[in-house]
């Protein structure tokens, strides 16, 4: 589904991603861990199409298409979803009109007719129940005045609404208490299918107790320096990242 080949990228002339290789197949869950500042969010930003990151080499194929040529909205319509580490507050744009516009844009891309008001509200209600998000939140402006946990749950709700093929969740677990974490993880597990895939960026092993990854990668200094099964997450939890850094510096 997604193939990243030797991807290098910089921000303001400073190299951040220094040659990323990654292959994700439908039905898989990949976790990316790694110390702060190693480039995890930058990788997510590149995949979603943020323009302050400049690609210097490499390629990214998504469903056989060259992803890097596409505008962010085109990627989203093809099925890329980014759960933001820091969701933006947008006062004055209601959740309902935001989601309705987004859902209908994506339906248009899939050659489906737009949902009318009542069908849309019904669809939204179903998804809200699925991800156990508070009804109040969808009556407000996008993320405005939401708590940290509410913002993260809102990301999962949007994911449920848009039914992406590849969801990239950037530290969706950070700042969540155990109940919220469970809600987020349950949402992901309910939406998981053989046709979609997840790239879960996280600091903590605890999320991976709920969302079982097929592969765990360690991103350090702009490179994936280690990839292994889910037991790697436990090892990192126990020993921290120093041993990885040492191993990496030896090379």
Partner 1 sequence: MKSTFMHDIAIDNLKALFNQLENEKQYQPDWLFHLRSRAFENFLIHKFPTKKDETYKYTSLEPHFSGKLTYLSQTKCSNINIDEVFKCDVPSLDTHLIILVNGWYYASSQQELLHETSDGLIYGSLREVTNKKPELIKPYFAQSSRTINNFLDDLNLSFMQDGLFVYIPPQARLEKPIQVINLVVADEAVQIYPRHLIISESSHLTQILFCDHSLNISPFVMNGTMEIYLKDNAKLSFYRMQNAHNHSIQLTNNYITQSHQSEFKSVYVTLHGGVVRNNIFVQINGEEAKNSMYGLWLADKNQHIDYFTHVNHNKPASESNQFFKGILDDEATGIFSGKIFVAKDAQKTNAYQSNKNLIISQNAKVRSKPQLEIYADDVKCSHGSATGKLDDDAMFYLRSRGISHKESCQLLMFAFASDITNQIDIDPLKEEIETLVDKRLRGELSRCNRCSISCT
Indicate which single residue of 9, 32, 62, 87 sits in contact with partner 1 (rule: CB under 8 A): 87
CA Rg value for the chain = 18
Backbone angles phi, psi at 32, to 5 degrees: -120, 125
H or E element at residue 80: strand 80-83
User: With binding defined as CB under 8 A, does residue 73 bind partner 1?
Assistant: yes
Supply 102's token pair: 């987004």
Residues from 117 through 176 that contact partner 1 (CB under 8 A): 141-142, 158, 162
Task: Give the binding-site size for partner 1 (rule: CB under 8 A).
Answer: 29
Q: Which of ligand ADP, Mg ion, partner 1, none sits in contact with 59, Cβ below 5 to 8 A by type?
A: none
Q: Which of Mg ion, ligand ADP, partner 1, none sits in contact with 204, Cβ below 5 to 8 A by type?
A: none
Rank residues 127 and 198 by Cβ distance to ligand ADP and give the closer one: 198
Q: Which of Mg ion, ligand ADP, partner 1, none sits in contact with 84, Cβ below 5 to 8 A by type?
A: partner 1
**81-89, 145-153, 169-177, 229-237 -> range binding partner 1 (CB under 8 A):** 81-89
User: With binding defined as CB under 8 A, does residue 240 bind partner 1?
Assistant: no
Q: Report the candidate in 24, 29, 51, 14 with the shortest Cα–Cα distance to residue 202.
A: 29
Q: How far is CA 215 from CA 82, 143, 236, in A?
A: 19, 32, 14
Rank residues 138 and 205 by Cβ distance to partner 1 and give the closer one: 138
Supply 219's token pair: 């991103």
Site track for partner 1 across 90-109, x = CB under 8 A: xxxx---xx--xx--xx--x
Cβ at position 47, least distance to ligand ADP in Å:
12
Q: How far out from the chain centre does Cα 153 lie?
A: 13
Rank residues 48 and 225 by Cβ distance to partner 1 and give the closer one: 48
Diameter over CA atoms, the chain: 61
Q: Which residues touch 208 (CB under 8 Å, ≥6 apart)? A: 31, 200, 202, 216, 230, 233
DSSP code of residue 114: P
């Amino acid at each position: 589904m997604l193939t990243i080949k030797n991807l290098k990228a910089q921000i303001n002339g400073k190299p951040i991603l220094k040659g990323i290789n990654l292959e994700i197949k439908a039905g898989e869950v990949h976790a990316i861990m790694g110390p702060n500042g190693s480039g995890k969010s930058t990788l997510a930003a590149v995949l979603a199409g943020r323009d302050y990151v400049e690609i210097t080499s490499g390629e990214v194929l998504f469903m056989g298409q060259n992803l890097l040529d596409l505008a962010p909205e085109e990627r989203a319509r093809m099925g890329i979803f980014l759960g933001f580490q820091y969701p933006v507050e947008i006062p004055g744009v209601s959740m309902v009109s935001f989601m309705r516009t987004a859902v209908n844009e994506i339906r248009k891309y899939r050659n489906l007719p737009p949902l009318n008001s009542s069908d849309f509200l019904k669809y939204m209600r179903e998804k809200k129940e699925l991800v156990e998000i508070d009804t109040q939140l969808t009556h407000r402006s996008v993320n405005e005045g939401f708590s940290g946990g509410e913002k993260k749950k809102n990301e999962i709700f949007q994911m449920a609404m848009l039914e992406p093929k590849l969801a990239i969740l950037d530290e969706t677990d950070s700042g969540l208490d155990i109940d919220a974490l469970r809600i987020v993880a349950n949402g992901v597990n309910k939406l998981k299918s053989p046709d979609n895939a997840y790239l879960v960026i996280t600091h903590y092993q605890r999320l991976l107790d709920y969302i079982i990854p097929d592969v765990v990668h360690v991103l350090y200094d702009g490179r994936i320096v280690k990839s292994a099964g889910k037991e790697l997450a436990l090892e990192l939890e126990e020993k921290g990242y120093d041993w990885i850094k040492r191993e990496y510096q030896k090379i």
